[in-house]
Amino acid sequence: MHPTRDNRTDDYVPDAADWARLSAADAGFDGARLAAAVEFALAHDSPWPQSLHYADGRYVGNVEWNETGPWSEIVGPVLPRGGPAGVVLKGGRILAEWGDTGRPDMTFSVAKSYLAVLTGLAVADGCIADVDEPVSASVKGPWFVSQRNACVTWRHLLQQSSEWQGELWGKSDQVDHNRQTGAGADQSRKGQRRELMAPGTHFEYNDVRVNLLAFCLLQRFGRVLPDVLRERIMNPIGASRTWAWHGYSTSWTEIGGRRVQSVAGGGHWGGGMVISARDHARLGLLMARAGRWGRRQVLPTGWVKDTFSPSPTNPGYGYLWWLNAGAARRPAASPASVFAVGAGNHMIWIDPDHDLVTVLRWIDGAAIGGFMARLMAAIQQPPTAQRGHS
């Protein structure tokens, strides 16, 4: 099942200036239980320090991923964080909201999911002929000259199975060798070189390779990705003007005779996307609506379905979005749920079975399952007619 299935009562989307609200009763929710879920989220702040640096000066990411050595330098901006915040949409309308949902904050690997959105635009524009075409067919330069790298396709990069080998912006792919994700992840061997597999045969969560995808999209669009995202996605869905997408001090390059910065697919070494919970919710709603916003098809028909289809090397992963399957499964969420996830913890959770889009910011990772269980427990019955809320 995918979030493209149509079990909604209508196709409401908010405009830029106004966002309709929905009462718990009209949404078919128990109000007290919904309030308890919100209070639970507020009570479980992320354990990360407000400055994102510990008292001894170490960046929180280096501690989180047990990272030391030649590739651990922080080369992008790091911004102090806010507190727990979130929003729950039912049928596109605001059902619950807490914290400062308008505050732009670092969002770490949720930025990866935005790269999947941009790749869909590149395919629609003909900048990418086919996701199964080798990237080397349209991106020239030293990054794909080796026999191994010449076989890497766009699909491999989207599914994190490329096994690309090399260095980009001063970071080697080796930095994320043996990296683990999810609950109980063991990073004791992270960064130790391992024997690489054939492209497309092995899943590895690797930020250097994601940054490579961002750079290759920059090459194909011939424009910086924040401009493309703003013009083609964020403005059409009514997002604010407060978000920004940063690269590294080392990621400047030349496009069409201009010096531009290639963005980062997360905050691993600083940088990445800085964005609000409300803007995330709009993007989540666009994906929940199969790329359609009102009467406008913003993303190509079928791209969202492809994005939310399981990878051959990881049933819990699509195109830079997590699926509720395999080792990544979150038992409290419906099986059809999909997630954009970032360290810290940040999440866009799309639940097509209940027509819900939920954004979580700065919640303790150990409490995410508890929040999900409480939100699901608040659902009583199919919602009544949504009178007066359109």
Kindly tell me if the per-residue pLDDT of 106 is higher than 80: yes
Quote the pLDDT of residue 186.
84
- Cis (ω within 30 of 0) for the bond into 345? yes
Kindly give the residue spans of alpha helices, DSSP state H, lying in the chain: 24-27, 31-43, 60-64, 110-125, 154-158, 207-221, 225-229, 277-288, 303-307, 368-377
Encode pLDDT of 14-41 as tens digits: 999 999 999 999 999 999 999 999 999 9
Determine the Cα–Cα distance for residues 160 and 144; give it in Å rounded to an integer.
16
Binned at pLDDT 50, 70 and 90, residue 7 comes out as very low
Binned at pLDDT 50, 70 and 90, residue 6 comes out as very low
Quote the pLDDT of residue 182.
75
Kindly tell me if the per-residue pLDDT of 388 is higher than 80: no
Quote the pLDDT of residue 9.
52
Binned at pLDDT 50, 70 and 90, residue 317 comes out as very high
What average pLDDT does range 357-375 have in this prediction? 98
| Summary mean pLDDT of the chain | 94
What average pLDDT does range 104-123 have in this prediction? 98
Rounded to two decimals, the pTM is 0.94
Name the least confident of 85-89, 119-123, 333-337, 379-383.
379-383
Quote the pLDDT of residue 382.
60
Quote the pLDDT of residue 8.
53
- Helix, coil or strand: residue 353: coil
Quote the pLDDT of residue 189.
84
Amino acid at 65: W
Quote the pLDDT of residue 387.
38
Q: How many CB atoms lie within 10 A of CB 37?
A: 25
Quote the pLDDT of residue 389.
40
- Is residue 28 within 8 Å of residue 382, measured between CB atoms? yes
The CATH number given to 24-109+271-377 is 3.40.710
H/E stretch holding 115 reads: helix 110-125
Determine the Cα–Cα distance for residues 84 and 96; give it in Å rounded to an integer.
14
Tokens read off for 313 = 């090397």
Which residue, among 243, 251, 253, 248, has the nearest Cα to 273 in the 3D structure?
243
Determine the Cα–Cα distance for residues 109 and 281; give it in Å rounded to an integer.
16
Query: Tell me, what DSSP letter sits at residue 328?
Result: G
- Helix, coil or strand: residue 283: helix
What average pLDDT does range 154-172 have in this prediction? 98
Q: Structural domain boundaries of the chain? A: 24-109+271-377, 112-118+128-234+250-263
What average pLDDT does range 116-131 have in this prediction? 98
Tokens read off for 219 = 């090459």
Which residue, among 87, 10, 91, 81, has the nearest Cα to 281 in the 3D structure?
87
What average pLDDT does range 1-8 have in this prediction? 46
